[in-house]
Chains A and B, each alone.
Chain A
Amino acid sequence: MNRILLVSLLAVLLPLSPAHGGEVDISGSMDFAVRAFWQNPVSAAQEDHALQPTVASTTELRWYNEAGNQRAAFIPYLRWDATDEERNLTDLREAYWAFEGDGYEFLVGANTVFWGVTESVHLVDIINQTDFAGDIDGEDKLGQPMLSLMLQRDWGEITAFVMPAFRERTFTGADGRFRPPLPVDTDNAVYESSREDRHVDLALRYSHYIGDIDIGVNVFSGTSREPRLVASPKGDSLLPVYDQIDQLGIDLQYTNDSWLWKLEAIARNGATHSFAAAVGGFEFTLYQLAESTADVGLLFEYQYDGRNELEPITIADNDLFVATRLAFNDVQDTTLLAGASYDTETGEIFLNIEAERRFGEDWFGELRVRAFSGAKQGDDTYWLQKDDYMQLSISRYF
């Protein structure tokens, strides 16, 4: 990580020399969050903290040259957790320099890239590693060191990525929540490649739209962002195993009136076999419900995953996802999202409620409730059974 930091720092600071002019924008946020758990954890080894406070800060430094064809970003993210030190994190979400020409862009440094269209699971989104310790929803990401070249043409956009360094997934600690029966030993990751976390991963993405249809196609070859978890020789922990994989992904959205129809699908040559996975569904919005200014969205998605039990665990297999999103469209941008995923084979249920709004000009508050239900011994979410929680977070933006 230190080497990545240094290289990224250099990539950003070199073009910032005064000769280049331009200006630097500084912004960011401080986030204060408390998680409350009302059940004792599954394992006796996990500490029984009912309250888990966390402080995090994001600082965004952005620079643009006067001609507007160069930009740089430096965005360190720091997190400190009062009860689980494995949740402490120092990351560079972004630390890059980019040069833009006529119809192309070259970027070097750490960056975050999102691909995909669905809401319940992000199958095709593979560039960035997941900060699983940060949030179990898979939407917190770690900055990925890369060289990328984007070409914009009438027929769409093509981006090539060369990723010379790998980021390991974060996991909560032995005494923390959201962990398997044995703790994950993140200090002793195992790699299929002899180059370990210096394997050069490659990816290519095509993105375009034709009328009401948005399409993305991508290929990836390199180190799987999802590790398998394998018992250590001593048998007292789980080791993350990062295999070499090849993956083809496609994402489609058809936008028609108040309906968004979505599909993501992947085919992966994984650790032990080749398999396919897909998620598809719709998002329908009723605008100005009952002559108010509020919108109500209804989301439905079905998740399929054909992987065998030797591949990295996923809970998104043969699951139904149903959710509603209430947007009040008020000055404070108040929204409420409530959803549930139901595993049609095992009967496991995951409930998720998120409510958020702005306070004044610079404060933002969020309330989150997550609950697990219906898992039997041996089911994927059994080890999360006692980790139902409520989280209150307040962010101050500057």
Chain B
Amino acid sequence: MNCTRTVLLSLFAAVILGIAGAVFAADNGAFEIAARSDRTDLGFGDSEVDLQMILRNAAGQESRRSLRIATLEKPDETVGDKSLVVFKTPRDIEGTALLSHAKILDPDDQWLYLPALKRVKRISSSNKSGPFVGSEFAFEDFTAIELNKFDYTHVGEESCGDLVCDVLERNPRYENSGYTRQVSWVDQTDFQLRKVEFYDRRGDLLKVLELDDYRNYDGIWRAHKLSMSNVQTNKQTDLIYGDYAFGTGLGENDFVKGRLSRLR
């Protein structure tokens, strides 16, 4: 297995697909820490999960969305994974779906399904830094990000809760990112992502992501609570995950654009 070709899926995708880590403790550099973290996730096949998105404004007012995410791991790591997000609530957008075919270097292929017109629309994936459905998560936080799309620097070690974390700075190499840099905390026990700080184009701290409630599914870790706090606007979005189902028999035909109009 070629380690440098290993795909890192981070943030939101990290939780869909899991974050990897590896089994040796020695620090072979920042890139290897990130790559190792990714390895714990290899071979999960496919997964489905229901989740609640809770949006809170600065005054504490809440708004909720419920959605389902299906993911298909691509065995060939030079090709990105495929994912399908389907909204159940709010009711007026029930059935709205987003299909993504992630790419390593090229922009992702994305199609949006609009149930009111029963229309499938290919959309631009260059809108990386825009908010996803009004939340504090940007599209780039949400779709799969590849290991090689970042440069990594090892900043140091810090305690994170009961664990010890490697602190990595990563700088996006892809175009249209809303961030100049990100700082991530990866624990040294399970090699999972625990926290990420996002710095905006001016270099100021913009958002903090905390990943909690990790559960182990036969060796594959998944966080079940993600909290994204915008420190500039005091808005927050929580993602509360239900139980993951792995190996549900999803195949390529479940992630084609024509499938979008046949979901319901």
Contacts and interface: CB of A to CB of B under 8 A. Distances in A.
Contacts of A150: 258, 262
Interface string B91-130: 1111000000000000101000000011111111011011
B126 A287 contact: yes
A358 B92 contact: yes
B118 A113 contact: yes
Contacts of B156: none
A260 B122 contact: yes
A71 to B, nearest CB: 7
Interface in B30-59: 55, 57
Given A100-B262, A255-B122, A361 B131 contact: no
**By DSSP majority rule, is chain B's interface helix, strand, loop, or mixed?**
mixed
Contact of A27 (B94, B121, B262): B94
Contact of A288 (B117, B119, B123, B129): B129
Given A114-B117, A152-B258, A397-B91, A257 B253 contact: no
A356 to B, nearest CB: 9
Interface residues of B, number: 36
Contact of B262 (A98, A287, A331, A398): A98
Contact of A333 (B122, B124, B134, B261): B134
A60 B258 CA distance: 22
A239 interface: no
Given A100-B262, A102-B253, A209-B257, A358 B127 contact: no
B91 A27 contact: yes
Contact of A257 (B63, B93, B126, B178): B126
A112 B123 contact: no
Contact of B119 (A114, A209, A333): A114
5 contacts: A114-B120, A152-B256, A288-B129, A293-B130, A331-B55
Given A73-B264, A288-B129, A331-B63, 18 more contacts: A27-B94, A98-B262, A114-B119, A150-B262, A152-B253, A209-B257, A214-B257, A257-B124, A258-B127, A259-B124, A285-B127, A287-B129, A288-B178, A331-B134, A333-B93, A361-B64, A362-B90, A364-B92
